[in-house]
Structure 1
Amino acid sequence: MNILITGSSSGFGKLTTETLLREGYTVFATMIGVTTFSKQAIEELVLLAQETKGTLHIIELDVTAEASINNAINQIYKKVDHIDVLINNAGIGGTGWTEAFPESQFTKIFDVNVFGVQRMMRAVLPQMRKRKEGLIINLSSIQGRVVFPYSGIYTATKFAVEGLTESYHYELSPLGIDVVMVQPGGFKTNFESVQSGPHDQKRLESYGEMINAPDQIWGEPNEEKDFLPHPQPVPDAIVQLIEMTKGTRPLRTTVDPLLNALGTSAINEAALKAQQDLATHLDW
């Protein structure tokens, strides 16, 4: 089975790539900075691949650039004739006073987290539709359902991913393609360390003595958070989805041992019932 995953150099992406290799899959691990800042991650993945039954291909791919995506897809199709699974994992975040994020930051985060998902799906779907076969797994978050203060920009992107994924789920199911999402909670990865705070320093300073309030929720920069669980349950959930029979995969899979899906599961259940009632009423 041929699996394409974005954002494979760190966090959930790297761990998922490693897990898939151990399971024996052919993995097209894509990332930016293949010849620069991702070199160490690549070396580690290559060494691991040599010890597993899986097959690893490393490809440069920037989800914000259509030309980069097209080039990567063309490279993949020179090696295999189809992609079975797309995992949209690439993502960036930002915490702090939401007002202090200028439009340029908002645009960048949406470009990666939302528009990047759409670009990747458009790149693989023609081939999947032709085969009437395929699985797309989008990485959402519990923050696509519940709101934590001082993370408005990231939350907004994940709410968008939820709506986009659910629309595709309904549209493509009759065509033999499953589109689902995973909602991770908080885990000990490098994600927080690579997040950026607000760039509008003048607006930020206007909050005065409240300027550091976000730290009460998210902790101080570079603070070690040993209470966070190891992220292995996320790639395990992804593998489980891959191995399920087509048409039986749930739209949402929540992986949140830290909070036990508090709030998220209640919203998921209410939304599912609301959608089913709506579909029945409109005779979809």
Structure 2
Amino acid sequence: MSGYVVLVTGAGSGFGRLTAEALTRRGHTVFAGLRDVTGRNAQAAADLSASMRVVELDVTEQASADRAVSEIMSAAGRIDVVVNNAGMIFPGPLEAFTAEEAQRQFDVNVLGALRVNRAALPHLRARGQGLLLQIGSIAGLVTTPFTGLYAASKAALESLTEAWRHELAPFGIESVIVDAASYPTSIGLNAALPADTERLSVYGEAFGGFTTAVVQRSTEIGGDPREVADAVVKLIESDDRPLRTVVGPAGQREPALALSRASAETAEQAGAAMGVAAFMTR
């Protein structure tokens, strides 16, 4: 196998597809994880299979994650990198969401990464090396109105990534996260609005104005989503992998970078104050 053996989840579109394609061009052996490869993602699976291996993977099911990793091990004999990209967004006022909808948001964005990493980690640990790379969001650092569920899920992913980094370092395994700004990808097309339309309507004017402002600002700033894929490739191929990498147009990137630096400094100070600094890896 050439280069690294990489599993990319949610590889059918957006950052996942761009990342899988970029890694393939760089000579790495890529396994593109997609759900429903004979149904809604049949065309994406057909397109990707021309240059990489497609594995069926539904991150909301542990058995599916286990099967996908087993398939990779059978085909490649090892797995070096997991890119946890699969995700979705539930925009809207928190009051309008049911607990079941919130559970779905976390099931994909947070528990999905937990399941896939759980499936891969015994194999990484056996080799004494590996990389877990999560695709996060600036929303995990800054919470704005009407993004509460999504931001909370990405903030949780930040915490998991940092915990993995500390806990897995003794085994030679690294954990990092790429905090991406808003880019024109398909995630917005797949957004799930609250089912409770009555409560949603209470916030109608404010929510509509917020959505319009976000779209307008995104159009003004622009940005190429391939920047995120390029950042992922760079991290995978680098010997120096920081915990957080912020990617986005300057207007969004600089404030998020400042928050990221402040968070790292505060975490280091808090760890020292709690007497656990020796167990924390930077």
TM-score (structure 1 length as normaliser): 0.90
Q: What one-letter code is carried by the residue in structure 1 that aligns with 2:244? A: R
Deviation at 1:210, TM superposition (A): 4.3
Q: What one-letter code is carried by the residue in structure 2 that aligns with 1:21? A: T
Q: Does residue 162 of structure 1 match 2:154?
A: no
Deviation at 1:136, TM superposition (A): 0.7
Rate the CA distance shift 1:258–1:196 in 2: closer, same or farther, 3 A.
farther
Rate the CA distance shift 1:190–1:275 in 2: closer, same or farther, 3 A.
same
Q: Does residue 192 of structure 1 match 2:188?
A: yes
Q: Which is further off, 235-244 or 195-204?
A: 195-204
Q: Counterparts of 1:209 and 1:14 in 2: how far apart (Å)?
A: 35
Identity across matched positions, percent: 38
Instruction: Identify the match of residue 46 of structure 1 among 46, 49, 56.
Output: 49
Query: What is the match of residue 206 of structure 1?
Result: 202
5+ unaligned residues in a row in structure 2: which ranges?
Answer: none
Corresponding residue pairs, total: 273
Q: Does residue 144 of structure 1 match 2:140?
A: yes
Instruction: Identify the match of residue 255 of structure 1 among 226, 241, 247.
Output: 247
Q: Counterparts of 1:254 and 1:219 in 2: how far apart (Å)?
A: 21
Instruction: Identify the match of residue 110 of structure 2 among 105, 110, 114.
Output: 114
Query: What is the match of residue 180 of structure 1?
Result: 176
Deviation at 1:227, TM superposition (A): 4.8
Q: Counterparts of 1:130 and 1:215 in 2: how far apart (Å)?
A: 47
Q: Does residue 125 of structure 1 match 2:128?
A: no
Q: Does residue 102 of structure 1 match 2:98?
A: yes
SS of match in other structure, 2:211 = helix
Query: What is the match of residue 264 of structure 1?
Result: 256
Deviation at 1:214, TM superposition (A): 3.4
Cα pair 1:135 1:178 within 8 Å, conserved = yes
Q: Which is further off, 227-236 or 180-189?
A: 227-236
Runs of 4+ in structure 1 off by over 6 angstroms are none
Instruction: Identify the match of residue 10 of structure 1 among 13, 26, 47.
Output: 13
Deviation at 1:107, TM superposition (A): 0.8
Q: What one-letter code is carried by the residue in structure 2 that aligns with 1:253? A: T
Q: Counterparts of 2:28 and 2:9 in 1: how far apart (Å)?
A: 16
Rate the CA distance shift 1:45–1:216 in 2: closer, same or farther, 3 A.
same
Q: Counterparts of 1:217 and 1:258 in 2: how far apart (Å)?
A: 18
1:99-142 per-position Cα deviation (integer Å, ceiling 9, x unaligned): 11111211111000001111111111111111110011001100
Q: What one-letter code is carried by the residue in structure 1 that aligns with 2:146? A: Y
Q: How does 1:228-239 map to 2 (within 5 A)?
A: 228-239=222-233
> Cα RMSD over matched residues?
2.0
5+ unaligned residues in a row in structure 1: which ranges?
Answer: 50-55
Instruction: Identify the match of residue 20 of structure 1 among 11, 18, 23.
Output: 23
Name whichever structure is richer in helix by fraction: 2
1:151-170 per-position Cα deviation (integer Å, ceiling 9, x unaligned): 11100100100111111111
Cα pair 2:222 2:249 within 8 Å, conserved = no
Q: Counterparts of 2:263 and 2:245 in 1: how far apart (Å)?
A: 14
Q: Counterparts of 1:192 and 1:258 in 2: how far apart (Å)?
A: 22
TM-score (structure 2 length as normaliser): 0.91
1:27-61 per-position Cα deviation (integer Å, ceiling 9, x unaligned): 010111201111222232234x2xxxxxx110110
Q: What one-letter code is carried by the residue in structure 1 that aligns with 2:237? A: E
Q: Counterparts of 2:163 and 2:193 in 1: how far apart (Å)?
A: 31
